[in-house]
Structure 1
Amino acid sequence: MGSLRGGLVFPALFLGAAAGVLLAPLPGLGLAAGMAAATAAALRLPVSSVVLVVLLLGGTAMIPVVILAAVISLVTTGLLPKAKAARPA
């Protein structure tokens, strides 16, 4: 994902926005929560992802949901097992 244009930030925002649109019928989930969750999981920077999403979308009513989504995604990625690197043959 890092070789795409925009580094890690913009592909994570795009994938999070796509997931947020898919999950929008569920209560409390939407575009902003998906963007914050994907960016926090990819970058491991929850405060920066919350600030970036709030500044990009320009709304203050969504801040609690965005913070909650970023923290949950950061905790979830921290609990996942680390992938083992493959040894060269």
Structure 2
Amino acid sequence: MSTSLILFLAILALVMLAVIIGGRKKRWYKVFMVNNDTFLGYRTTNDFWWRDSQGLIGFHSPDGRRIGVSKHNLIKIEEHDAPKSGK
């Protein structure tokens, strides 16, 4: 194998590893809704702002369940610190 091919494969492996490891980081958001409800949810760095035909934006609840919120029911979304564990 040529040296340049080995170097290319090594760089590709490092990039793939960084993407896999970085995808586990959670970003927390406080979501304000029109009915005066708020909730704390997170998205991982490898999640995309997904929407379906009904205009939903996806979050994860602190216990990991997916939450779909209609974009028509949102007032604002703020970045938030991770919640403190109760233990």
User: Which structure has greater strand proportion?
Assistant: 2
TM range (shorter): under 0.3
Structure with greater contact order relative to length (CA < 8 Å, sep ≥ 6)? 2
User: Which structure has greater helix proportion?
Assistant: 1
